[in-house]
Amino acid sequence: MTFNPSDEIGALVAIMAKLRTPGEGCPWDLEQDFATIAPYTIEEAYEVADAIIRGDFSDLKDELGDLLLQVVFHARMAEEAGHFAFPDVVRAISEKLIRRHPHVFGDAGRLPTAAVNALWAEIKAGEKRAKAAERARLGLPAEPPAGVLGGVPVALPGLTRALKLQEKAGAVGFDWNDVGSVLDKIVEEAREIAEARAADKGREALADEVGDLLFAAVNLARHLDVDPEAALRGTNAKFERRFRSIETALAARGSSPAEATLAEMDALWNEAKRRERGEG
């Protein structure tokens, strides 16, 4: 199967090449490397997620373009270094999708979800073996054994990485048996924070205990089939919405949060909660 970029993609690749052409391109673009661009790549992915959460499809179109630009930027730098080019990126992911979906593109036929998941895992394992063989053929050192928890990127958001680590450990039986046990663990971790404070153990010890509590909270979300990152984003949005209602109410009185008492703001917060629940 042949994979050719569309005219629009080709134009974008050409624009990026122009920006990176010494003597003709943009000084800022020319100064960048993989390490300096990586943070922008992560930021653009978050902005895509934000547009989706807000249901703003006009913004989503723009943010997806910004994210695509990051892919083109990295591919251009790789081409300059002689590693690969953008068409290689497209070809690799297209071939991977076809390879990992023999029940769609091959002769495996229609399969139930459980069978698809098992087939996916088997294909990925085969890809790892093939990659190891290719490294050996090229005389490259073998990658160190990843272990059960291997393959979870360190750069992931903390909650998401905790979830993926727990899922991998759970897949081999290292897991709580029920939600009640996880709730007990959360209570235990909260108690240990209180004990650390009472013993005046210092900021580092408190940070360690708070990390344990957050990790346990992610475990609870996982056992309840709740995405912890999405749940926290929802709570953040709810907090922003209610706090803005406080600001609006105070502004109508000729005041502001900086001038109001905590009691006043608490009362307005509770009013906002009641309105959201349709209680008045």
- Taking only the tens place, the pLDDT of each residue in 15-43 is 999 999 999 999 999 999 999 999 999 99
Residue from 195, 217, 220 nearest 206 by CA: 195
How much is the pLDDT for 6?
64
C-alpha 17: how far from chain center: 29
Q: How far apart are CA 93 and CA 99, in angstroms?
A: 10
Question: Which residue has better confidence, 136 or 77?
Answer: 77
Share above pLDDT 70 across residues of the chain, in percent, rounded to a whole number: 96
Which burial class, exposed, middle or buried, applies to 219 when counting CB atoms under 10 A from its CB (0-12, 13-18, 19+)? buried
Across the chain, the runs of DSSP E, i.e. the strands, are none
Query: Within 10 A of 58 (CB to CB), how many other CB atoms are there?
Result: 8
How much is the pLDDT for 127?
84
How much is the pLDDT for 180?
96
Residue from 218, 194, 220 nearest 206 by CA: 194
Sign of the torsion angle spanned by Cα atoms 247, 252, 253, 255: positive
Give the count of alpha carbons within 13 A of 148, CB side only. 10
Residue from 251, 252, 230, 233 nearest 241 by CA: 233
- The model's pLDDT over 238-280, given as tens digits with 9 standing for 90+, comes to 999 999 999 999 999 999 999 999 999 999 999 999 999 887 5
- The model's pLDDT over 136-195, given as tens digits with 9 standing for 90+, comes to 888 888 777 778 898 888 888 899 999 999 999 999 999 999 999 999 999 999 999 999
Q: Are 176 and 223 in contact (CB under 8 A)?
A: yes
Q: Are 179 and 224 in contact (CB under 8 A)?
A: yes
Polymer length of the chain: 280
Confidence at 4, pLDDT banded by 50, 70, 90 = low
Q: How far apart are CA 71 and CA 76, in angstroms?
A: 9
133: helix, strand or coil: helix
Confidence at 2, pLDDT banded by 50, 70, 90 = low
Give the count of alpha carbons within 13 A of 167, CB side only. 16
Quick one: angle between helices 179-198 and 203-223, nearest 10?
Answer: 170
- Say which amino acid occupies 122: E
Share above pLDDT 90 across residues of the chain, in percent, rounded to a whole number: 70
- Distance between first and last Cα of the chain: 62
Q: Domains in the chain and their CATH numbers?
A: 7-137 (1.10.287.1080), 158-226 (1.10.287.1080), 230-276 (no CATH)
